Amino acid sequence: MSDCRYGTNGWILGINSAYHEPAACLIRDGEIVAAAEEERFNRIRHGKRADLLNPHEIPVNSIRYCMDVTGISAKDLDAIGFSFLPDKRLQANAALDPDPEPGCAGTRDGEERFHQLLLTVPRRLGDFLGEDVTSRFHWIEHHLCHAASAYFVSPFDEAAILSVDGIGETTSAWLGVGRGNHIFPLKEIAYPNSLGFLWTKASRFLGFGEYGQWKVMGLAGFGDPDRYYGAFREFVSYDEDGNFSVNNGVLQFRANRYDGYEQLFGPHRLPGEDIEERHRDMAAALQKITNEVQLALARYQHRATGLKRLCQAGGVALNCIANRVILEEGPFDEVFIQPAANDAGTAMGACFYLWNHEMNRPERSQLSHVYLGPEFDADETAAKLFPHAQKSNDIARDVAALLAHGEIVAWFQGRMEWGPRALGNRSILADPRRADMVHTLNEKVKHREFFRPFAASVLSEKSSEWFEFGKHAHGDAFMLYARRIRPDKTGRIPAVTHIDGTSRIQVVEAAANPSFHRLIAEFNELTGVPLLLNTSLNDREPIICTPRNAAETCHRAGIRYLAIGDCLVDFQQEGVMTENRWTASSLDNFETELLSQPLELTFRSR
C-alpha cells in the first residue's frame, strides 16, 4: 500500500446504513468481489425504515454474506468505509427547519439522538465481527461515496460526476470531477433544495407512501405536464449556472402536512382512493421539471469542465425518463450510471473512495455486470426443495417455448443482482407480444397499480432494430433508460410499451449473462421478437434472494413455472406447499450452508 495507515491484504469493506437501503460491498485489490443489499436477506423493503432511531442498525446479513462467501475474517480487512459523516449532519441540520415535527429530523433533540446512535456503529460492527475494528473504520461523506460509486467503476479515466438524491448529511446534489484516482468537488446544493425530496413529498401526497417515487414516474406518462407546470415553478426555480432552489414553505418536507401542496394541487390523496386526472397531471409536471433541472445541471457541468463524459449516481439517477433527456439532449458524448444508484450503492463507493482516492491505488474495476450476490447450486437445491422438478436438456429452449405459448415463468439463475433491478437472474418473464399480460401481471401476479409499466430485456445485437438510440449508453445494460420504440415496431410488443411510447430496457450482452441471452435468442427463434418482458421476481416484497424465497413467491403470486438452473419446476406437480415444508429449520440451515460457501475468486480478470 502507498499509505502506511492501511494494511497490505487489499481487502476493503464498504457499508451503508445511516438512512435506508443498507448494504455491504467487498473489494480486493480494486476488484469487486461481492455486494448485496440487506433487504434481500431480512425481507424488509428498503432494508429498514428511514428513521432517526435506527442509523446504528448495520446490515449484518449483507456483511456476513460478503465475508463468508470469500472465507475471510475481520483481521484480513485493511479498511472499512461507512458512507456518512455524523458530525457534518449534526452541524448542518440541528434547528434547520422552521416547523419540524417534535423530536424528528431538523430538531436539536432528534439530530443529537441520531448523531449519538451513529457514533456507536464502529463498536457494534466490532462486536458483530468479533474483533475491534475502530482503528480501521472510516467515516466518509455520503455524496463522495455516491460519486465514487459511479466514477471509479466506470470505463472513464476522466469524467464529470453528478450525484442527486434526497439528502446526504446536508447536500442534496453534488457536482464534481473524476480524474485518474481522485475525485474533486465543483458545486454542492444543500437541503431543502432537493429534487429527491420533491419526489418523496409527491409520493406521500399522491397516497403512494415514502417509497412510491417509481409509481409517480409511471403515472406521469398518463398526464398533461402543462396543467401544473406553472404551479411547480412557483416554488421550484433553477438557472443555467447549476443552481436550483425549493421553497420549503411549500414543500414542508419534514412536516406531516400538505398545506402548501394543497393550495396548488388540491386535497391530497389517501391510499386506496381513486386516481384522478389532476393526480396524473401533477405527476407529469413533476417529471417535466425534473427533466429540465437535471438537464440544466448537466449542461452547467459540461461548460464548467469541458469534459465529454458524465457519471451519474444518487437516487434521482434511477429516473429513466430524466436519464434519457440528459443523454439525448445533453452535451455529453458518453454517460455511465451506477446501477445501484440509490443509497445502497454508497457501500460500493465507500470501498473505492478508500482504495483509489485515499490510498491512491491505480487499480480500478469496471462494473460490466451486476451479478455480485449469493448463488445456489441448482442440482442440490432442486433435489432438496423440489422433488418433482424435471432436469431439462435445454432449459433455455424449454422456457422459451413456455413463454411463446403465453406462460409466465420465474427465472432463477446464478448470482443475485446488485441494485434495484432484476436483470435476468431473479426475474419474472413473459411474452411481450400479449397486451393482456400487463393486466395479468399487475393485477394477479404482482398485485400493484394498473398503470405500472413493464421493462423489456432485448438482445444487444437486435436492440437498434426495435428501439431508438440517439446515443448509446452504458446504463442500457442496467435498465436505466426509457427508450422510444421504433415506429415500425409499434404495436408488436404492447406488454412492454408504456403509454408514452417508451420502454425501460435492458440491453443483454452474451458476455455479461450468457444464459439469459440464450433464452431471449431462443424466444426470438420461435417468435421473431428478440426481447422478453422482464420484471422482478417478487410480490410486494424485496426481490427474492434464495430458492425458498422463489418458491414462496411463486406460490403466493400464482406462478406455475420456476426455472432454477437446468431444472424446471411445475408447481401443479409439486402440489400445495405446506407451511411445515417451507418453514422447517432444516431448510433454513440448508440455505445458510449454500450462502456461506466460498467463491472461487480470480482477481484482475475483467
Q: Is the pLDDT of residue 503 over 70?
A: yes
Q: Is the pLDDT of residue 488 over 90?
A: yes
Distance CA 374, CA 594 (A): 9
Q: Which string of b and e fits 408-437 if b means at least 16 CB within 10 Å?
A: bbbbbbbbbbbbbbbbbbbbbbbbbbeeeb
The three three-digit cell numbers of residue 84, written as one number: 456518512
Contacts of residue 207, Cβ cutoff 8 Å, sequence gap at least 6 = 268, 269, 270, 271, 272, 273
Tell me the CB-side half-sphere exposure of residue 261, using CA atoms within 13 A. 24
- pLDDT at position 597, please? 59
Q: Is the pLDDT of residue 575 over 70?
A: no
Contacts of residue 56, Cβ cutoff 8 Å, sequence gap at least 6 = 117, 118, 120, 121, 124
Mean pLDDT of 566-588: 61
Q: Is the pLDDT of residue 212 over 50?
A: yes
Distance CA 353, CA 359 (A): 8
Q: Is the pLDDT of residue 594 over 80?
A: no
The closest alpha carbon to 419, from 538, 315, 327, belongs to 315
- pLDDT at position 184, please? 98
Distance CA 464, CA 467 (A): 5
Topology of the domain comprising 11-144+341-358: Nucleotidyltransferase; domain 5 (3.30.420)
On the question of a common fold for 188-337 and 378-595, the answer reads no
pLDDT, the chain, mean: 93
579 pLDDT tier (thresholds 50, 70, 90): very low
- pLDDT at position 604, please? 29
Q: Which pTM value belongs to this model? A: 0.94
Distance CA 392, CA 522 (A): 15
Mean pLDDT of 590-599: 58
Q: What percent of the chain has pLDDT over 70?
A: 93
- pLDDT at position 426, please? 98
- pLDDT at position 2, please? 46
In SS3 terms, 449-478 reads as: CCCCCCEEEEEHHHHHHHECCCCCCHHHHH
On whether the CB atoms of residues 201 and 247 are closer than 8 A, the answer is no
* Phi, psi (degrees; rounded to nearest 5) at 173: -145, 135
- pLDDT at position 606, please? 22
50 pLDDT tier (thresholds 50, 70, 90): confident
On whether the CB atoms of residues 339 and 315 are closer than 8 A, the answer is no
Q: Express each pLDDT in 301-311 by its tens digit.
A: 999 999 999 99
106 pLDDT tier (thresholds 50, 70, 90): confident
Q: Is the pLDDT of residue 602 over 50?
A: no
Domain ranges in the chain? 11-144+341-358, 188-337, 378-595
The three three-digit cell numbers of residue 402, written as one number: 413456455
542: preceding bond cis by omega (within 30 degrees): no
589 pLDDT tier (thresholds 50, 70, 90): low
On whether the CB atoms of residues 15 and 128 are closer than 8 A, the answer is no
- pLDDT at position 591, please? 63
95 pLDDT tier (thresholds 50, 70, 90): low
Distance CA 72, CA 7 (A): 15
584 pLDDT tier (thresholds 50, 70, 90): very low
Q: Domain spanning 378-595: which CATH class is it, in words?
A: alpha beta
10 Å CB burial of residue 272 (0-12, 13-18, 19+) is exposed
Point out the least confidently predicted range of 34-43, 396-405, 597-606.
597-606
- pLDDT at position 310, please? 98
Mean pLDDT of 182-206: 97
104 pLDDT tier (thresholds 50, 70, 90): confident
Topology of the domain comprising 188-337: Nucleotidyltransferase; domain 5 (3.30.420)
Question: Would you call 175 helix, strand, or coil by DSSP?
Answer: strand
On whether the CB atoms of residues 327 and 309 are closer than 8 A, the answer is no
